[in-house]
Amino acid sequence: MHIEHVDLLAIERKLYDIPRGMERFEEYLRTMVNDKGDDVDLMPLLTMNPMGREHVAERVDEWIALGAEQIAAAAVQEAAQNSATINAKFKHGLVVADDVRGGWTNRYTTEANRFNSDAKDILKRPWMSTILWVSAMPDLDYLRREVMATVFRTEYVLQHEPSKTLRDIMRQEGYAMAMAGMSPHLDEDDIAYSRDVLQPYIESNEYPVIFAAMYGDSAARLLGYEPLGLSERAGFALGLVDVLAEKERAQMLNQDNKAPRFRR
């Protein structure tokens, strides 16, 4: 898989230099569309808040100062090497999204769009977006993991049928996080509890159930869905634990197969 990282943070920052109002919004629209004006060219910018206030511009400045674009470009290439067998070309970009003071973007619903990913749709618009939330303090290690997870999530979608059930989505997200080197954020007791709670729903394809399972009670209540009694992002943590366990079993089996056999 060939991936070109496109520097978008400077473009976003330039838009925020324009005073809030229609002039900025119109420039935002002109920036996103292609030369013909009939389609979106810079897909990641759909997630930014074009009417963002000063706190968004400040966050963009912080990421730029840290060298976020360079780290992201390196992470993209590192992840792409593990997906070399996929014959596809993509562009990748960073976008800072406002989940603090803007009504433009809801973090949970924006992220949940990945649950319905389909290979055909992805290939029609070959962009990968890594979202940097205003609420998260800039951290380059966090950035690297998120970028790599974006790439590996795309790789997974291209190689599998669309994720429909809770089981499918947990595996998709677990794979992306495991390949990116992430660690579970819940302890063993919470993981065991979450597994028991989610077992009756594991084959569910109902969006409210999947949302509550993946994001936990706080997010479910925020959107008016019935909570299941789960911690924040419990489904993600459980999916990651299961994929890591599967990888460990595979490695042990591989080592056993390579071990020398002695005849008596």
| Structure confidence by residue, pLDDT tens digits, 223-234 | 999 999 999 999
Average pLDDT taken over every residue of the chain: 89
50 with 25: CB under 8 angstroms? Answer: yes
Q: Across residues 167-180, what is the average pLDDT?
A: 96
State residue 114's pLDDT score.
83
Question: Does residue 84 register a pLDDT over 70?
Answer: no
Would you state the pLDDT for residue 255? 63
* pLDDT (mean) for 47-53: 91
Residue range 201-227: mean pLDDT, rounded: 96
CB 163 within 8 A of CB 78: no
What pTM does this model have? 0.87
DSSP 97-121: E--SS-SS--HHHHHGGGGG--HHH
Q: Report pLDDT for 264.
A: 44
Distance CA 215, CA 178 (A): 18
**pLDDT computed for residue 86 by the predictor:** 78
What is the distance between the terminal CA atoms of the chain, rounded to a whole angstrom? 48
What value, to the nearest 5°, has the Cα angle with vertex 190 and ends 185 and 192?
Answer: 120
* Cα atoms found within 13 Å of the Cα of residue 71, Cβ hemisphere only: 19
Secondary element (H or E) of residue 58: helix 54-65
Comparing 75-89, 175-189, 210-224, 244-258, the range with the smallest average pLDDT is: 244-258
pLDDT band at 243 (very low <50, low <70, confident <90, very high): very high
